[in-house]
Structure 1
Amino acid sequence: MYPVGLRRMAVDLYYEDGVSCSRVARFVRDELGDEAPARKTVARWIREDPRHGPAGRQGASYTLDAKLRAVRVFMETGDARAAAGAAGCSETSVYAWARRYREEGGAGLVTGHGDAQAPGRAVPRGADVDELRRQVEALRLENAVMRETIRVLKADDPRLDPSALTNRERTRVVDALRGEFGLSASLDAVGLRRSTYYYGRSAIAAGDRYAALRKRIARLFERGGRVWGYRVIHRLLRLDGDDPVVVSEKVVRRIMREEGLRPVYLRRARRWSSYRGEIGDAPANLVDRDFHAGAPNRLWVTDVTQFTMDGYKCWLSPVIDCFDGMVVSWTLSRSPDAAMADRMLLDAVATLGDGDRPVIHSDRGCHYRWPGWIRICEEHGLTRSMSAKGCSPDNAAAEGFFGRLKNEFLHGRDWTGVSYDDFHARLAAYLTHYNETRIKKSLGWMSPVQYRRHLGLAS
């Protein structure tokens, strides 16, 4: 009439954790209340258990190795059932052993009634005390290593593996242990050579030679909106006119990794599409995925992307010059209509000089197949080019721009309560930065505007 799991837990408390029969009965009473069995019923459960022998309580005869194995499996995986299976015990025992291990270390698992020697490791009776002392000392050292590992890594997760420490971190652990356990035993416990230990001590004593650089890198990372990777940070350090820093990319990458300076790029499961089916003959694909141009205003690409904001949606339509990636013109609209695309194209052609007749490449969206768009292209001598149906790589230059824009400007930021007008202003500021101050490796670490000035193509 009583739950099997509760009965097993009560018996395990008696045999494996050394809890008295009276306390076990109180525990069962706390769990079941008025419906709890009498103490003599709990005593009968204990007597009927296979572990009960003529001498009374016999214990489960779990070896120290078995207990440690179960605790380690539990700490590494968090799976009490798997740990119980590894030791052939109950999950209740695993939880109890793990608690004692965290509080007292390996010595807490030496209970005196359940620590039989493993087969093949029996110790002569006269040496029982010495062997037990050696085991307890080894367990104390193991527990101390785990304690110092958690302290060194400033982590609360008990499932840490000391073997994952760097040599410098192991050196700090050995320094904390050597006074209590001796240098040789501490080195063996963390798996560190003596020469490596002394080298690590010298390096720690010398201090962090990159302390000032760390602060500078962190400032640059924050100034860039937490979207710049190590290559851009590395280049900005060298381009600093007041105090340039010459250091390898590997050092910058390692410092950013150690300081947790990682851009987080979110991905959206779905994307908006302007394709509405074939509504007429499409022009040929004149670009054929070659998005290079030898001069400005030779090849333009365009597309439309959607932003889902706080309670509203809006659409961006830009024109990108494939010569250097400059945003020639753009419009933001609450509706992805023909007026949005036509206005953007009129703004773009207004920047053309005499004789400029670029190819304007797009996907097969409906914006680029309506009469107004076609008329503007014909009046200003623009040559239309279109991707294949449903083939985003055919317009990779525009898709790449949208990816950079959303990674650096949109994703990972709180847009709660930001109105359409505020969003428009922030987007305008970002696109100005994109053209004038955002450096690119492909342009010799210059922005599009800086690159054109460098070539004498802009004043």
Structure 2
Amino acid sequence: MAKMSPEDKLAAVQRYVNGKESSRSVAADFGISHRYLLGLVKQYQHNGVEVFVRRYTNYTKAFKLDVLNYMTEQGTSFNETAAIFNIAGASSIQNWKKQFETLGEDALQPKKKGRQSMKKESTKQHKNVLAEGSTEALQARIQQLEMENEYFKKVECLSSSQGKITKEDKVKVIYELRHKYSVKALVAFAEIKRSTYYNLVKKMNRPDPDADLKADIQAIYDEHEGRYGYRRIRDELANLGQKVNHKKVQRIMKELGLKCLVRMKKYKSYKGTVGEIAPNILDRNFTVVVPNEKWTTDITEFKLFGEKLYLSPVLDLFNGEIITYTIGSRPTYSLVSEMLEKALERLPEDHQLLMHSDQGWHYQMKQYRHTLQSRGIVQSMSRKGNCYDNSVMENFFGILKSEFLYLKEFESIKHFKEELKEYINYYNTKRIKAKFKLSPIQYRTQFTQAA
């Protein structure tokens, strides 16, 4: 059976007392028998947290007789008696009973532990002054118990907040109590070496070499409202002129308790009727070398406050930029026609463009097809029931819902539309695309300047 520290004993008992796990499962996790765990629980119920404080175990003969008499008069078991008198193990009481029955009261007299001291007679005389029962010994014992209780309470607070106690945590507690109690006594009770304590204290007092980097990481994380993981934060730092390894960014984010809040959700788009209006000219060739060469569009649905909203954006495959969008309470054709009209205002005259969509009924309408033909735009449609043919737009809808819809809270439909406008502006201007290490508009600007 594994040897347990006071902190581990308390953690095991608290897990069982919470009532969510069986004694066997908790005991298995800590490498102990479930009977031993139940014994710790009884001790905790009778004596509270102090039962796990390291105790003075050289019991007097009078104390042992009191324990045996109580057990005989009350009819309690060895385990119950140990719990009531705050004795570490029931086996000690069994030994006392056997010694008393075979050899009498004198067998209960405590024996001095360890080898006989080789110090001078003056030292022995000093020890005699602090003999058991003297005022000095009692005061020393009280101070020892106070130190142990205060240390244990502070460690218990750390345990409840983070679940695990490290050497660094113990050193912090000792450092806090160092003016009140002896460091030698504290490190001995905490079971760490004094050299370890002083070494870690030196590190504690050194200035943090990553303080500025931590501040920058926190600022980027806050600016993007928790949407960035360590890779995008690394890219943002690189754009600011700081080359930092992604593993270091990940480690610092863990230290700061920063975690990307985005969790991708399954996307389900609005589906219209199926037809054969235009072939799949795009054919999943999403690579584009110049702006406004290939656009893609689709419609997605939101459910808010018992109502439905429909979003119709158009996206440039060159940089993933949202060219424009419309939003409405019904998926009417005007939703798409207005979107197309606004998008074409940004397209130069006589510019060769491929417009891709799924086989939704909006894109099969004569008005839609005529508008494209009048501007010399080639129409392309995904194959029947194949979402991968328009995966770039599908991916945008997934990001939109994960980073915006599921992450924020809205007060009304009007508030939702205002926040949507801000998010799409953020998506175009600030949010880094991993492929480019820049936002869509930053990438387009860089390309234009280079050209």
TM value normalised by structure 2: 0.67
Q: 1:80 touches 1:91 (CA, 8 Å); kept in 2?
A: no
Number of the residue aligned with 2:77: none
Number of the residue aligned with 1:232: 232
Q: 1:301 touches 1:320 (CA, 8 Å); kept in 2?
A: yes
Residue 209 (1) aligns with residue 186 (2): no
Residue 292 (1) aligns with residue 287 (2): yes
**Deviation of residue 246 (structure 1)?**
5.0
Q: Could you tell me which of 428, 435, 445 is aligned with 1:453?
A: 445
Structure 1 gaps of 5+ residues are 1-63, 134-138
2: CA distance between counterparts of 1:357 and 1:440? 26
Q: 2:311 touches 2:326 (CA, 8 Å); kept in 1?
A: yes
Number of the residue aligned with 2:427: 434
Matches within 5 A, 1:365-404: 365-404=360-399
**Deviation of residue 398 (structure 1)?**
0.7
1: CA distance between counterparts of 2:45 and 2:20? 10
Number of the residue aligned with 2:336: 341
Task: Indicate the percent of aligned positions where both proteins have the same amino acid.
Answer: 27
Structure 2 gaps of 5+ residues are 28-32, 56-81, 100-106, 114-131, 133-144
Counterpart of 1:318 in 2: which secondary structure? Answer: strand
Number of the residue aligned with 1:253: 250
1:176 and 1:424, CA in 2 relative to 1: closer, same or farther beyond 3 A? closer
* Alpha-carbon displacement from aligned partner over 1:163-207 (angstroms, at most 9, x marks no partner): xx3x533433554688377366456x4xx6766544322210114
1:295 and 1:129, CA in 2 relative to 1: closer, same or farther beyond 3 A? farther
TM value normalised by structure 1: 0.66
Counterpart of 1:284 in 2: which secondary structure? Answer: coil
Q: 2:309 touches 2:328 (CA, 8 Å); kept in 1?
A: yes
1:94 and 1:68, CA in 2 relative to 1: closer, same or farther beyond 3 A? farther
**Deviation of residue 317 (structure 1)?**
0.8
2: CA distance between counterparts of 1:68 and 1:203? 25
Q: 2:42 touches 2:83 (CA, 8 Å); kept in 1?
A: no
Number of the residue aligned with 1:281: 276
1:92 and 1:268, CA in 2 relative to 1: closer, same or farther beyond 3 A? farther
Q: Could you tell me which of 75, 78, 100 is aligned with 2:14?
A: 75
**Deviation of residue 351 (structure 1)?**
2.2
2: CA distance between counterparts of 1:306 and 1:117? 70
2: CA distance between counterparts of 1:451 and 1:361? 22
Q: 1:320 touches 1:327 (CA, 8 Å); kept in 2?
A: yes
Residue 321 (1) aligns with residue 316 (2): yes
The one-letter code matched in structure 1 to 2:260 is P
**Deviation of residue 286 (structure 1)?**
3.1
Q: 2:155 touches 2:173 (CA, 8 Å); kept in 1?
A: yes
**Deviation of residue 245 (structure 1)?**
4.7
Q: Could you tell me which of 390, 402, 413 is aligned with 1:407?
A: 402
2: CA distance between counterparts of 1:95 and 1:386? 72
1:286 and 1:326, CA in 2 relative to 1: closer, same or farther beyond 3 A? same
1: CA distance between counterparts of 2:8 and 2:400? 51
Q: Could you tell me which of 66, 69, 91 is aligned with 1:117?
A: 91
1: CA distance between counterparts of 2:258 and 2:164? 24
* Alpha-carbon displacement from aligned partner over 1:261-290 (angstroms, at most 9, x marks no partner): 223125657x55322442x22533333433
Counterpart of 1:306 in 2: which secondary structure? Answer: strand
1: CA distance between counterparts of 2:209 and 2:111? 51
2: CA distance between counterparts of 1:273 and 1:448? 24
* Higher mean displacement: 393-402 or 348-357: 348-357
Aligned length in residues = 374
Matches within 5 A, 1:147-226: 147-152=153-158, 155-156=160-161, 160-162=163-165, 165=166, 167-173=167-173, 175=175, 179=182, 182=185, 185-186=188-189, 189=191, 197-226=197-226
Higher relative contact order (CA 8 A, sep 6+): 2
Number of the residue aligned with 2:72: none
Q: 1:80 touches 1:94 (CA, 8 Å); kept in 2?
A: no
1:107 and 1:146, CA in 2 relative to 1: closer, same or farther beyond 3 A? closer
1:361 and 1:68, CA in 2 relative to 1: closer, same or farther beyond 3 A? closer
